[in-house]
Structure 1
């Protein structure tokens, strides 16, 4: 038993049968699902005459989704899927590399992929795909289905924005950031299926329509993500505009109040210098008359500001 082969299946008889998990030579109509960072995997790939450049692409740590055709019997697909592992963020998308090499499929992962795990469970129950091309379609559909399920509650959350007076901006910012990270990988994932269909691989000719459906699904999800991001940005812009309007209105109100009481402050400051010559010092009616005068000044200011439509 090898330490790098997680699961292996033989499709040569028109039905998937499990293989022994040993480092046997790669044979056509077989699927080898491997742990990418396990010791011995690179040596096994080299022993099976896989070119060094292809091995590097299959085992590299960080890469974007892409499709590479090396010849009619060899191509590489790199896909990204939602990370449903415990303790991981779903938008921290995991990578699945799939190599078609001389009629066999070698796939590698670093952390478990839900789409592949579900597919293996179906194979164990005898209800999974029966050929390698259908297996490839099943993996692609599984990845797309999980992404679509992840986006469904996001759509509901976006729809709720129209019915809410105030949403949690912190939650919306986190959601927006998550959608931006998803978009980063789903956009090039669309090109994977476009390039696959354009390559017109003879071994996948019977599954062409299925891959077209995968492409349509990816395109729809990309459009949905763009729409969600635009809706969140629009909602945040409206909230910011409302807050700016409230601030401007309050600032304007305080400016008007300050302007109204500016003459009163001037006169009270002038009469409070405590030096000789201040009128009314000896008159007991001076203070009441002064207060009445200030009220008259304030009233005149209010009338003038209203006619000038400042208030």
Structure 2
């Protein structure tokens, strides 16, 4: 079985599922007049940004204008819609593993499904589809549109664990450095980046968790008997991921708080030292200013030991101040 990849038509993959775990690939010209045998179902995967794909969806797919408008929206959040109790619209987000992209820059996948057909659309490459095609090559792939939909959702959900683990490991390293050296300040930029990535993931996973919960309660007639159990498992997995993201957010907040506290303590110590130095030298500055007044009658002007006596006097004042500060426990 070869993978169909016809970029000119916007059709990325076309497969007929045989109902036994395998599938055969189709070319775009095979779609016209296609008749499915008993137990077979169709999967079409389109490039949403391609003009030919948009034209096919609106003119040849048989979908309603409402469904086409939703599937071709420029931006949308994870959501699920049931149409006429027999059709399903599903919008999911997955981790972006494409070169040069950040994982939290999520990729969007949009699905239309009924009892004999699954139509999926994407704008950027989605690795989950390649895994499903490989499973069909081993005759271990999904057998029906509901299983294919579940397979893609599960594959996209599993890939969330890698960026979560990466965020947790980065945070562990920063915490270990902070604990090993109390004077070490966490890297502020790194903490803000971790918090930003966690917030971006959480923003899309929260509604996705809710739609998985909705699908776990769905009673569509073409769902396989145990599909709801697997949707519920995906819901539980996303709950665990969201709890991990919340934990990461709290740990980042604690590190930022510790960073702010250490900076405040450092500034406080610096200001305290400056205040002590100012306090020590303020009387000396007063004496130097007083003795520097250029008027008649200043003592010691004619004495060759005048400067030495002034220095000794200042040293005595400094010693008295030092003793007094030590007694007050300011030093």
TM-score by length of 2: 0.87
Q: Secondary structure at the match of 2:298?
A: coil
CA deviations on 1:39-82 (whole Å, 9 max, x unpaired) are 22233223333111111111112111111112221111111111
Rate the CA distance shift 1:91–1:245 in 2: closer, same or farther, 3 A: same
CA deviations on 1:195-247 (whole Å, 9 max, x unpaired) are 22233333224311111110011111111111112112211221221121011
Deviates more, 1:39-48 or 1:178-187: 39-48
- Find 1:17's aligned residue among 20, 23, 32: 23
Q: Secondary structure at the match of 1:261?
A: helix
How many aligned residue pairs are there?
Answer: 311
CA deviations on 1:110-139 (whole Å, 9 max, x unpaired) are 111111222122223322222222212211
Deviates more, 1:89-98 or 1:293-302: 293-302
Quote the RMSD (CA, aligned, Å). 2.1
Q: Is 1:176 the equivalent of 2:195? A: yes
Instruction: Give the equivalent residue in structure 1 for 2:323.
Output: 303
- Find 1:225's aligned residue among 224, 245, 258: 245
What residue ranges of structure 1 are gaps of 5+ in the alignment?
none
Rate the CA distance shift 1:218–1:25 in 2: closer, same or farther, 3 A: farther
Instruction: Give the equivalent residue in structure 2 for 1:136.
Output: 149
Query: Which runs of structure 2 are paired with 1:84-95 in the superposition (5 Å)?
Result: 84-95=97-108
- Find 1:255's aligned residue among 249, 252, 275: 275
Query: Which runs of structure 2 are paired with 1:145-224 in the superposition (5 Å)?
Result: 145-164=158-177, 165=181, 166=184, 167-204=186-223, 205-224=225-244
| Whole-Å separation in 2 of the counterparts to 1:222 and 1:18 | 38
- Find 1:3's aligned residue among 2, 5, 9: 9
Q: Is 1:40 the equivalent of 2:52? A: yes
Deviation at 1:12, TM superposition (A): 4.7
- Find 1:279's aligned residue among 290, 299, 304: 299
